[in-house]
A = this chain, B = another copy of it.
Amino acid sequence: MTMVIMYQGENDLSLREKKKIETRNKIFDVSARLFKEKGIENTTVDEIVKEAGIGKGTFFNYFPSKTALLLYFAQQKEELTYNQIKNEALKSVSTREKIINTLVFVAKTNEKDKELTKMFVFEYMRHYGSSEDERKSRSLSNILYSLIEDGVRKEYVKSTIDAKKAAEIISAIYFHSLMEWLWSKIDYSFSDDISGKIGMVFDGIAGGRT
């Protein structure tokens, strides 16, 4: 039974935990630098551990795979982005505009680091439904879901609409269009493209007949 009561300010971490954080940060910093310097594909785990001054096994103690490290990067960025989205959505009134602005905003932040984005979209696909990372990989869907529910309340969206399904189709369109845009050789406006498509979803494509 321990009798030691610790009064610690900035220093309430054991040596172990401090070293753990240090190592994790070291891996993160070194790989961030290498990824920028020579691209993700061209950076090997061996290089990372050599530059970080740790053993190879250690890397895999912290990240179960190279992919896990990438996902960690992507997640960090995603968190930053999604925190800004609320402000972005507030800039407009109608649900349609809110959704378009949100998607364009996310796309723009993604454009800044195309390679990482590609990697993320790719890994998002690969690890689809692998249970643990559901919260984050579904978060765009969740944001859209809130916007649509809000839209139903304010009558921007039909009350008969299944908000969950609607959020799904919009995020499907977003991902697909983003891929098309990221990998496309020809340069076109993502904003215009996505606006047009969201417009179709709002107004429908049905003609006179049924």
List residues of chain A with CB under 8 Å of any chain B CB.
94, 96, 121-122, 125-126, 128-129, 148, 151-152, 154-159, 161-162, 165-166, 168-169, 171-173, 175-177, 179-180, 183-185, 193, 196-197, 200-210
Contact = CB atoms under 8 A, between A and B. Distances in A.
Oligomer: number of copies? 2
Q: Which one of A166, A185, A201 has the greatest number of beta carbons of chain B within 10 Å?
A: A201
Contact of A205 (B122, B161, B171, B176): B161
A207 B202 CA distance: 8
Contacts of A177: 168, 172
A65 B60 CA distance: 27
Contact of A168 (B151, B156, B176, B204): B176
19 contacts: A96-B210, A121-B125, A128-B183, A129-B180, A148-B205, A152-B207, A156-B207, A156-B209, A159-B207, A165-B196, A165-B200, A169-B173, A169-B176, A201-B201, A201-B205, A202-B204, A202-B205, A202-B206, A203-B204
A171 B129 CA distance: 20
